[in-house]
Structure formats: structure tokens, C-alpha cells
Amino acid sequence: MRIWVAATAVLFGLGTALPVRADPDEKARELQQAERRKKEDRARQDRERVERERLDRERLERERLDRERLERERLNRERGREVREQERAAGEREAAERGREIRAEEAHREAREEAWRLRVPPPALRTEMRPVAPSPRHIWIRGYWGWQDGRHVWMGGHWDEPPAPGRVWVDARWANENGEWVFHPGYWEPVAAPPPPPPPPAPVAVYADPAIAEVNIALGPPPPRRVEVVPRQPGNGYLWIEGDWIWDGHQYRWASGRWEAPRPGWMWVPPQWQPAGAHYRWRPGHWRRR
């Protein structure tokens, strides 16, 4: 009986121990799955974060564009308002100047119609004390002798603003015409524009024979000449000066071709390279009288 009980206990222990040995593999799988889920969660969170940042950037950009658009519209409204105000002010100034001009012309016409012709000469002009001008635009209108109720009456001077820009005041005066004293009222007169200055005389080109200095070069001949593309002629009569090798004191240097303005009575002599024993002699190009 004891042997049977012991065998049963051993078998029971083995039966319960087998599942226990399988638990570590199951836990490893569960850990792997948990780690994978964490990685997926982190990847999803990263995608969501990137998407939120993108949406935030787009929102901020839209808000910035909206602010700039509103600012442009406000500036355009203000500029339009300023332009309208300037146009209105200019129209008012023009209307006021035109009104003053019309009133001055009417007053001058009425004065001409009511011109006085007398046998009695006017008294000498009085010396007046000028008050301070209301503005730099105002002009002093000198006083004069008028005629009222059969006698000469002094009309005091005053400051007045020209009816339009570019006007000067011509003082009233009395003139003796055929033994009668005739009154000529003052009036505003346009300033005559000064004649334009004469154009300056055209410059005369003066050329002198240049002093040509030949150079002896203790080197071999210059390199072969280059082929150049001739640009468009700048004007009639211009002369094309071909490019050539020149000596700058140390080495050969290519001087590109160019167009030269015509020089009446002169001709262009191209540069020359001539062998001179073991050296080469260079004569620069120059203009020469015909």
C-alpha cells in the first residue's frame, strides 16, 4: 500500500511539473508580444505627433498668411483713403485758386470799367508800415490814391494771396494821358517763363599724333591670333579694331577687339610684330593722320 501511494505521488508530481516547465516559453512570447505592442504604440504615437506638428505648422502658416492678407488690405485701404484725401484736397485747392483767380479777374474788369479820368493830379504816395505777413505765400499790395465823392482818398495797402501759383501783382497807378490823369487799377499777372538757355556747343574732337614706342622682347614670337566674334556695329562709320597680342612688360596678353568711333582725317595702323635677330620688336597699334 505504501508503495502504491508513493508511486501515485511521484506520478502526480510529474504530471503537475510538465506544465510548469512550459511557462518560461509562454512568458517569453508574452514579453515579445508586449515589446512589439510597445514599439507599435511608440511608432503610432510618433506618427500622431508628426501629424499634429504638421497640422500645427499648417495652421500657423494659414494664420500668418491671413494676418499678412489682412495687413495688406488695411494698408491698401489706408493708401486708398490717403489718395482720396489728397485728391480731394488738391481739388479743393484748385477750386479755391480758380475762385480767387476768377474774383481777381472780375475785380480787375470792374476796375477797368470804372476807370477814372481826372484833370486833378493825385497826391504823392504815402509811406506805409507793413504788418507781419500772414504766410510766406502772401504778397504785399501797395496802397494807392482812389477817387470818391469828388476827391482823392487813400486806399491803404494790405497782404493778399495770389489767385494761382506763378502770379505777380502789378501796382495800381495814375498816368497822364493827353493832359488827363487816368487811373489804372492793380492786377495779378502771370510770370513770364524765362527763355530756355541755349544748348551747349557740341564738343569738337581734337586728336594728336601719338608717340609710338617700339618694344624689343627677348622671347619667342607671340602665340597665334585668336578668332573673335565681331559684335553688332554700334553706329554708322564705326571701325572694328581687331584683337591682338600685346606686351604688358612681363608677358604676352590678349587684347580683345573693339569698335572705335570714326576719326575724320585719321586711319588706324594695326600693331606689328617683327623679328629683330634673336628678339621680337613690337609696335603698338595707333591712329595716324592720312
pLDDT in tens, 82-107: 888 888 888 888 887 777 777 766 76
d(CA 32, CA 38): 10
Nearest CA-CA partner of 160 in 185, 133, 186, 129: 133
11-15, 165-169, 182-186, 283-287: segment of lowest average pLDDT: 11-15
Tell me the percentage of the chain whose pLDDT exceeds 70.
78
Grid cell of 12 as nine digits: 502526480
| Strands (E) located in the chain | 117-118, 139-141, 144-148, 151-155, 158-160, 167-170, 173-177, 180-184, 187-190, 215-217, 239-241, 244-247, 252-255, 258-260, 266-269, 272-276, 279-283, 286-289
pLDDT tens-digit readout, 218-251: 666 778 878 788 888 888 888 888 888 887 777 7
The pLDDT confidence band at residue 18, using thresholds 50, 70 and 90, is very low
111-115, 176-180, 194-198: segment of lowest average pLDDT: 111-115
The pLDDT confidence band at residue 9, using thresholds 50, 70 and 90, is low
Do you know the residue count of the chain?
290
Mean pLDDT for the chain overall: 79
pLDDT tens-digit readout, 54-85: 999 999 999 999 999 999 999 988 888 888 88
By DSSP bridging, strand 144-148 and strand 158-160 are: unpaired
pTM beyond 0.75: the answer is: no
The pLDDT confidence band at residue 5, using thresholds 50, 70 and 90, is low
Find the mean pLDDT for residues 190-208: 61
pLDDT tens-digit readout, 44-57: 999 999 999 999 99
Query: Which DSSP symbol is given to 256?
Result: -
pLDDT tens-digit readout, 110-153: 655 456 788 888 898 888 888 888 888 888 998 999 888 888 89
Question: What confidence score (pLDDT) does residue 17 get?
Answer: 47
Question: What confidence score (pLDDT) does residue 59 get?
Answer: 92
Question: What confidence score (pLDDT) does residue 157 get?
Answer: 92
Domain ranges of the chain: 1-114, 116-128+135-190, 215-289
Whether the predicted pLDDT of 209 surpasses 60: no
CB neighbour list of residue 263: distance below 8 Å, 6 or more residues apart: 205, 207, 287
Q: What DSSP string runs through 102-124?
A: HHHHHHHHHHHHT--EESSPPPP
Grid cell of 252 as nine digits: 604676352
The pLDDT confidence band at residue 13, using thresholds 50, 70 and 90, is low
Cα 52 to Cα 42, 55, 62, 66, 128: the distances in Å are 15, 5, 15, 21, 86
